[in-house]
Copies of this chain bind each other. A is one copy, B any other.
Amino acid sequence: MKLFHKMLMTGILGNLTLPMYAAQWEVLPDTPPIPANNSQSEAKIKLGQTLFFDPRLSSTGTVSCNSCHNVMAGGDDNRPNSVGVEGKTGGRSAPTVWNSAFLSVQFWDGRAPTLEEQARGPVTNPIEMGMSDWDAVVKRLKSIPGYRALFKAAFGPDNPITADNAVKAIAAYERTLITPNSPYDRYVKGDKKALTEQQVRGRNTFAEIGCPACHSGPNFSGPQLTMGSGFYMTFPLVPGSKYETKYKLMEDIGRYQVTGNEAHKHMWRIPTLRNIALTAPYFHNGAVPSLDDAVRVMAKTQLNKDLDNAQVQDIVAFLKALTGEFPKQTMPRLPGTPGRSVIP
């Protein structure tokens, strides 16, 4: 983390311009990084998908992973903040689960090094899925007969229903949530008709003004780093813009909450730009309603640039070309508990 961050900070703090990288345009790989201790398998993915869609992982039986990370849509909930059990809400906006496997850390503040650790969080967060602890989750899963077979198929017969295995399965499923073949990817692969003239112009502007300093790599979320590394930037970086108050950008101190390091105040993990057109409203607090304004905010707060309307529209057109193909999925069957409910 530090290497990348310092490099950027030096460039910016020196003269308020970012170092110009020669933009490298990369297509999305078919498969993301897979951790050595959690190889993919059909059985694990099936279990993970079932858990992902099962609202019984929440105290009230009403909130599943998919409630806030809707894979039938852009992988989020199109809300400024999400609604957990009993109508509770928090201050941050749900990031997309699509292509999250390409991020080297998870959550807006990077507090989870892997998808496995990310999946562990919301289930027992009191304002999200509200389970008291993972023991209670495991107890509930063990009381659902059909999960025995699913966990056994994924993890073998020896005490398969555990919190570790549950989050491994969810992460394995999430590693299948990849959206290839966006117009951008097809263009990079050689189909020069895949982007409109405006989109090509937008891509050039995107590169010229310095966006790829952070939004680089195949996932537009920075270079592909070792899992757990993290690629962060301060936001807002250029102080004093009108957006700070308009969009309450200073209220959440970001990664500082995790590390207690002063240098990490208002520092955030670089989010992906893939499918960004589908995940309004924008930023960690979901305060910016439109992609147009999100582009203006970024240009001003990160690059100290005031874009004209044509530039904004061009970049937005390019960003829309990052919407990929969503793989068809069969709905899971949630195993039943014949004759009773596990929801209190």
Contacts and interface: CB of A to CB of B under 8 A. Distances in A.
A4 to B, nearest CB: 29
Interface in A194-226: none
Contacts of A88: 87
A193 interface: no
Interface in A299-344: 316, 320, 323, 326, 328-334, 336-343
Interface string A53-66: 10110001110000
A83 B83 CA distance: 12
Contacts of A290: 339-340
A147 to B, nearest CB: 13
Contacts of A70: 55, 334
Contact of A79 (B72, B338, B343): B343
B83 A60 contact: yes
Copies held by the complex: 2
A277 B61 contact: no
A60 B68 CA distance: 12
Contacts of A337: 78, 280
A244 interface: no
A4 B195 CA distance: 66
Nearest to A295: B339
Interface of A: 53, 55-56, 60-62, 67, 70-74, 77-79, 83, 85-88, 277-278, 280-281, 289-292, 316, 320, 323, 326, 328-334, 336-343
- Residue among A62, A67, A320, A337 facing the most chain B CB atoms (10 A cut-off): A62
Nearest to A76: B341
B277 A72 contact: no
Interface hub of A60, A278, A320, A339 (most chain B Cβ within 10 A): A339
A338 B62 contact: no
Given A61-B78, A278-B338, 4 more contacts: A277-B339, A289-B341, A291-B339, A320-B338
B78 A342 contact: yes
Given A72-B53, A78-B61, A329-B330, A338 B277 contact: yes
Contacts of A85: 87
A339 B320 contact: yes
A79 to B, nearest CB: 5
Given A60-B83, A87-B87, A331 B331 contact: yes
Given A79-B62, A338-B291, A343-B79, A72 B331 contact: yes
